[in-house]
Amino acid sequence: MRPYQKYFCAIAISLLAVSPSKAQLLVAPKLHIKAEVGSGRVALTLDACGGRTDTRILSALVENKIPATIFVTGIWLKHNAAAVEIMRAHPELFELENHGGRHVPAVDTPQKIYGIRSAGSPEAVLAEVESGAAALAVTGEPAPKWFRGATAEYSPSAIAMIRKLGFKIAGFSINGDGGSLLGAKETARRIAAAKDGDVIIAHINQPTHAAGEGVVQGLLALKAKGLTFVRLDDADCVGNQGTTD
């Protein structure tokens, strides 16, 4: 996988460490929602890392009344006021959560993850989390309860710090679009394969990428199967690596 360009949101697929003498082993947490008898529920989470808004996805969510949890950065919020207003106009569908202030990985030692330089210190991790929450507060949204860091990989010590701030950390069980780098067909296939209890991650900030078309196709396939979409705050979520307990 090539390094992501500025504003790309890399998705955790494997562990990558640079400068082995200083780097920690990183973890990519999983997240599921607890199954309920007689129901098929999945949680859709979409990262808005930077750049613009994929209106193909946003329009499909509104038109088909599909709830989603949107993880937004301070960077994205500055340039996407119109999309934020649409989301705020549909509080029954959209839950906005914290993706950090500057979209830097929540890793408290200096290293790169998929070409993105980590926060690099405990103080910088805290600044990334707190500045993301502050950026959301300016929009008038409720205080975020969830955090997902850039690349979705973390140092274990950073996980502990973030939890002490009161945030649950959002992993996932299905990588829907491979950081928005997959084609439409493969993205649709991955998302359509979701089962009861899965948490899907994809991206809503790459309007020129083919993956966005696949996100819409996959979601409509799930809806046609009769699965129900829930936001993270509306479900009982279970994450590993100490991310939700």
- Tens digits of per-residue pLDDT, 179-222? 999 999 999 999 999 999 999 999 999 999 999 999 999 999 99
Helix (H/G/I), strand (E/B), else coil: 230: strand
Say how many Å lie between the first and final Cα of the chain, rounded. Answer: 32
Q: How far apart are CA 200 and CA 88, in angstroms?
A: 22
The DSSP result for 73-121, as a single string, is -HHHHHH-HHHHHHHHT-TTTEEEEE--SS-----SSS-EETTEEP--S
User: So what's the pLDDT on residue 4?
Assistant: 37
Instruction: Kindly indicate the confidence band of residue 101, based on its pLDDT and cuts at 50, 70 and 90.
Output: very high
Residue 10 has pLDDT above 50, yes or no: no
Residue 88 has pLDDT above 70, yes or no: yes
Q: How many other CB atoms are there within 10 angstroms of residue 229's CB atom?
A: 22
Helix (H/G/I), strand (E/B), else coil: 193: coil
Tens digits of residue pLDDT in 131-185? 999 999 999 999 999 999 999 999 999 999 999 999 999 999 999 999 999 999 9
Average pLDDT over every residue of 47-56: 97
User: So what's the pLDDT on residue 2?
Assistant: 39
- Give this prediction's pTM: 0.90
